[in-house]
């Protein structure tokens, strides 16, 4: 029997209508899928309804995959694909399997030779890199900075060094309520000639992408409090 495929369905970042940020083809493919593996049930159902109001949620099967899911449970979620059914993966925001537990499902599927179909959608990493003006031929995404002060300072120094010696753009994120503190911290601790790009509310109504030297960020007025944002440094 032919195995099913695993479709990786990106979702909107924030409250943006799916049709603004997703190709129509994603929505057509979504209509044909009965089995979903989702990071958060409520968000996924809301997303499906926003894609197509005629989708009948109760006809669909959902499995929740989050950081508490064991690897045996992840393996079991592949069952529909092994009997020829397609599976759709939806993460809480943006591209599945990039910075969420969906990657474990994809890895398990790759081990079994199941076909994976990644679909186009919004990625704050890529969108911010495009709009920053920074080097896109060499870049690294590092997720969150460490919280521990010593390790955090060491990471920032290491990032600055990668910018200077390897011309590698450094990309990272912060918990939204700490955004303002992070900008102030970067302005205080990195070289004043280093460039910082802050990309906030990407694809959303308050979208802004600003690149300034840290010297200028020091005297700049900004408020990114609780707005999803991503940070990039380069020189």
Q: Which of 40, 43, 50, 133 touches a copy of itself by CB under 8 A?
A: 133
Tokens 């994976």 — which residue? 116
Q: What is the largest CA-CA distance in the chain?
A: 64
CA dist list (Å): 120 to 41, 71, 78, 187, 191: 22, 27, 22, 35, 37
141 part of the interface to a copy of itself, by CB under 8 A: yes
In 3D space, the residue among 130, 136, 100, 71 whose CA is nearest the CA of residue 10 turns out to be 100
75 part of the interface to a copy of itself, by CB under 8 A: no
For a copy of itself, the closer of residues 17 and 57 by Cβ is 17
The side-by-side arrangement of strands in the sheet containing 87-90 is: 61-64, 35-38, 87-90, 5-9, 115-118
99 part of the interface to a copy of itself, by CB under 8 A: yes
DSSP code per residue over 193-216 = TSEEEEEESTTSTT-EEEEEEHHH
Q: With beta carbons less than 8 A apart as the criterion, state whether 196 and 211 touch.
A: yes
How far apart are CB 150 and a copy of itself at their closest, in Å?
18
187 phi and psi angles, rounded to 5 deg:
-60, -30
How far apart are CB 127 and a copy of itself at their closest, in Å?
4
165 part of the interface to a copy of itself, by CB under 8 A: no
The conformation of residue 198, written as its DSSP 8-state character, comes to E
Instruction: Give the span between the Cα atoms of 73 and 52, in whole angstroms.
Output: 29
CB under 8 A: which stretch of 38-46, 145-153, 203-211, 225-233 binds a copy of itself? 203-211
122 phi and psi angles, rounded to 5 deg:
-70, 130
CB under 8 A: which stretch of 42-50, 56-64, 78-86, 116-124 binds a copy of itself? 116-124
Q: Which of 196, 202, 227, 230 touches a copy of itself by CB under 8 A?
A: 202
41 part of the interface to a copy of itself, by CB under 8 A: no
How far apart are CB 58 and a copy of itself at their closest, in Å?
28
204 part of the interface to a copy of itself, by CB under 8 A: no
How far apart are CB 217 and a copy of itself at their closest, in Å?
13
In 3D space, the residue among 117, 121, 118 whose CA is nearest the CA of residue 5 turns out to be 117
110 part of the interface to a copy of itself, by CB under 8 A: yes
137 part of the interface to a copy of itself, by CB under 8 A: yes
Can you say how many angstroms the Cα of residue 204 is from the centroid of all Cα atoms in its chain?
Answer: 15
123 part of the interface to a copy of itself, by CB under 8 A: yes
Binding site for a copy of itself (CB under 8 A): 8, 19-25, 95-100, 103-104, 106-111, 115-118, 120-123, 125-143, 168, 197, 202-203, 207-212
């Amino acid at each position: 029997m032919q195995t099913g495929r695993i479709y990786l369905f990106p979702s909107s970042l924030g409250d943006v209508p799916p049709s603004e940020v997703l190709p129509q083809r994603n929505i057509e493919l979504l209509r044909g899928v009965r089995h979903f593996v989702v990071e958060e049930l409520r968000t996924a159902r809301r997303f499906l309804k926003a894609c197509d109001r005629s989708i009948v949620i109760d006809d669909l099967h959902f499995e929740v995959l989050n950081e508490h899911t064991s690897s045996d449970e992840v393996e079991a979620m592949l069952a529909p694909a092994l009997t020829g059914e397609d599976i759709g993966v939806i993460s809480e925001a943006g591209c599945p399997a990039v910075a969420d537990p969906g990657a474990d499902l994809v890895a398990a599927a790759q081990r079994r030779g199941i076909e994976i179909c990644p679909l186009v959608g919004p990625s704050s990493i890529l969108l911010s890199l495009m709009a920053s003006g920074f080097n896109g031929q060499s870049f690294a995404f590092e997720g969150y900075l460490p919280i521990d002060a010593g390790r955090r300072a060491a990471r920032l120094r290491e990032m600055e060094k990668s910018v200077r010696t390897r011309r590698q753009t450094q990309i990272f994120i912060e918990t939204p309520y700490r955004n303002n503190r992070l900008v102030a911290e970067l302005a205080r601790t990195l070289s004043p000639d280093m460039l910082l790009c802050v990309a906030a509310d990407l694809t959303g109504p308050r979208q802004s992408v600003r690149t300034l030297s840290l010297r200028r960020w020091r005297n700049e007025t900004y408020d990114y409090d609780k707005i999803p944002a991503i940070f990039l440094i380069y020189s």
